[in-house]
Each structure stands twice: as C-alpha cells, then as structure tokens.
Amino acid sequence: MTHAEHIPGSPPASLDQARQLAAALLSERGEASGALIARQLQQTMRVLDADGRHGFQRYLASAFQPDAAALQDAAKRYLADGTAAAAAALADAADPPRQEVLRRMNMAPGGTASLIAMRSEIAGRLGSEPELKLLDADLKHLFVSWFNRGFLELRRIDWQSPAAVLEKLIAYEAVHEIKGWDDLRRRLAPDRRCFAFFHPALPGEPLIFVEVALVQGLATAVPPLLVQDADQDSAGLRAAHADTAIFYSISNCQDGLRGVSFGNFLIKQVVEELQTEFPQLKRFSTLSPIPGFRRWLGQQPQSGGNEVAMLRELDREGWWHDAAPCETWRPVLMRLCAHISRARRRPGIASIRWRASISATVPDWSGSTGSATRPIARWRNPSASWSTIFTITTASSVTTRPLRA
C-alpha cells in the first residue's frame, strides 16, 4: 500500500487524527490497547499526503519532550551525590517520551518498515529543519538496538533465491551497477558468492549485501571480476581451485538505517562462511572505488600534464612498470592518499563515504579507506612504488592498519 492510498470504509485521514492517535499511545488507554491504537495510527499515516506526513514528523519532533522540571531535579540530585542510582534517575528523566511513542508505533504490523521509511523521508530536511534532528536521533537510537547483530540473519543469495530478492539486488547495488538479469546471473555463478543480512521485521528485504569473487591471486583490475565465463562447469572448477576471496562490492539497502553498522559484522561472518566451504582459501581482500577522485584531481597542482592524461595513464595496463609515468604522477598520488586520510575526519565531506575497507601504501604513508559509489577510476596492484585496493587477511580475522596522515 502506498502513502496516497485510501483504506475502503475508513474516513479521510487528517493530520489531527494522527496527532490524537500518537498522544493516545502514551495515555492509560494506550498502555492497555497499544497494539490497536498503533494499528489505527499506521493506517492513518498510510493515507496522509506528503504535507501531512511532514506535519506529523514535525509534531513528533516537537511535542514529546522530557519533563523540564523533573529533568532539572534529577540533574541537581546527581550533582549533589553522584551515585549510580542518581545517574540512572537522571538518564530516565532525560529519556524523551517520543522514544516510547515510537516503540509503541512499532507494535503495528509493518511498524518497523514505516519508521525506517519515516527516517529516510526526513533525511533531506535535516539541514533546513534542525528540529527534525531530534526525531532522527531517536529513530537511530532505537534502530541500533532493534537491528543489533543478535537479530540479524545471514543468508546466501543465489540464482535459486526468490525473484523478489534478486530484483532488490539489482535495485540496491551501489558500487558496480548490475545491468539486468544476465549480469546478475554471472554475479551469482559458482565461483561467486553473495551474502546478505536480513531481519525478522523486514521479511524479504535485505539490509546489506556483499559480493565476493573466488579467484587465484589478488586481482589487478575490477572488470575481470564483473565479466567472466558464464559456463557453470568452468566456474565450478575455478571455485574449487581458488585461493583468494575478493570482496568487490558491498551495498547498504535501507537509507533509513544509515549510521547503523552492518558492514563489519557482515564481512567477518562471510569470511568464516567461506573458510568453512573453501578451506583452501588463503587470502581475503576488500576492494573499493574512490568517489570524487576526478573532481579532486582537477583541483591539484599539475605534475607533467592534465588530469585527463593522468586518468588515461592509470587505465593503461602495466603503466607502473614504466619509470616515467611513475615519477610524473607520484606526487599527485601521494597527495591523493593524504587527502583520503584527512577526508574522513573533515566535516562536510560527502564525496568520500565509508563502506568497504581497502588499504593504500606509498612511501611514508599507509592507511585504509573505503567508498560507496560507482567506480571513477580503476586501480592496479603494482609492484613498483605504490599499491592500492587491498587489505589482506589471514585465518578468520579481518585486519586493517590504523588510519594516519
């Protein structure tokens, strides 16, 4: 059911109705029949238009604040004696009633999905309406608890998985676009693996998924990982002889769950799954593109040519064996690595987001970084003065070096 649909036999929904039902959830009646009221509120929200939903979100953000007098008294008691009991009382007084409203809204069928959609919807308004940040923070706080690792289910996705799930892979892929069903079938061949986390409250909806290539040796480019022989027997033989697993794409699927950590748990558990299935695997590597690279490169002092020439050079197979381009572009590449190391700590940087882990090594610098968008440049694995894209792990531990400039 979409937001604009109307439930047959019910009166037209209004913002006032939604407000009244939300307030009722915290009343004595709400305690006794919370599930029924939550269901009525869910139905009302579904037929609100965009302006109505916006008004209801503003109402949630502003109307359910902690009791100021009780909070002040609790703070004074804590400052006076500093006991654990006083700290607990202060935390209880500071807990906004809005969180209890959201918990009770979650009692309705589909409540979790509705709250995730709400957080996704308010994301675009946080800059212009800072009051909504209170609602956003409370939703994130609840989601971190509701989506902790103990509730997540790891599933392998293959060609036999339900078509609805496979369609979602195509829609949610954020790193390397899946160009239709034939492309997806190649990504799910016997020498490839795809794993996703699911949650009982969102049946059939992946939260995050990772794609893995089973190969011999570390990859030197992305395209061979994406386009390979589709013959099933050949792919099975490649999997049987693989000694390396390369995590080449990881995608978060629910924008409303941004900030809730899944990737680290997913990669570590998939490493364990792969080691059980393929005990011959010796290396595990993660690989990511670097979004914003072309824009960054255009802002740098030139070193022997323009940025287009550099991009062409980096795309030329074996460029790292030629001393001339290595020396020409080495200062720019050094600045790139330093830029990546600083970007994570600098506010307002939206061009580099963190998802998969990679590592880059140049003389006098090392670190790890990751990204979420489609590739802008391909990176090789040279044996010369610098290397990038690989974090190598052994046994069942996934390790990265600490980031430092």
Q: What pLDDT sits at residue 210?
A: 95
CATH node for 15-146: 1.20.140.90
What's the mean per-residue pLDDT of the chain?
76
In one letter, which amino acid is 55?
A: G
Burial class of 392 by CB neighbour count within 10 A (0 to 12, 13 to 18, 19+): middle
Predicted structure pTM score: 0.71
Give the model's pLDDT for residue 396: 29
| Residue 390 or residue 32, greater confidence | 32
pLDDT at 107: 92
> Which structure tokens are listed for 192?
């490839």
Query: What pLDDT score was predicted for residue 221?
Result: 72
User: Rounded mean pLDDT of 379-389?
Assistant: 30
Band of the pLDDT at 11, cuts 50, 70, 90? Answer: very low
Output 39-44 pairs: Cβ under 8 A, ≥24 positions apart: 39/107, 39/108, 39/109, 41/105, 41/108, 42/105, 42/108, 42/109, 42/110, 42/111, 42/114, 43/7, 43/10, 43/13, 44/13, 44/14, 44/17, 44/18
Q: Does residue 327 or residue 216 have the better pLDDT?
A: 216
Nearest-5° angle of CA 104, CA 106, CA 112? Answer: 165
| Residue 261 main-chain phi, psi, to 5 deg | -80, 125
Cβ contacts of 162 within 8 Å, gap of 6 or more: 204
Q: How many CA atoms lie within 13 A of 146 on its CB side?
A: 23
> CB under 8 Å to 53, separation ≥6 — which residues?
3, 45, 118, 121
Centroid of chain to Cα 319: 34
Closest C-alpha among 202, 51, 32 to residue 114: 202
Q: Is the pLDDT of residue 27 over 60?
A: yes
Cβ within 8 Å of residue 323, ≥6 positions away: none
Which sequence spans correspond to the domains of the chain? 15-146, 151-286, 293-388
The third-level CATH classification (topology) of the domain covering 151-286 is: Aminopeptidase (3.40.630)
Give tens-digit pLDDT for 257-304.
999 989 889 999 999 999 999 999 988 888 766 666 666 666 666 544
| pLDDT above 90 coverage of the chain, percent | 50
- What are the contacts of 16-21 at 24+ separation with CB within 8 A? 17/44, 18/44, 18/45, 18/48, 18/52, 18/56, 18/59, 19/56, 19/59, 19/63
pLDDT tens across 145-202, in order? 999 989 999 999 999 999 999 999 999 998 888 999 999 999 999 999 999 999 999 9
Q: Rounded distance, CA 13 to CA 217, Å?
A: 60
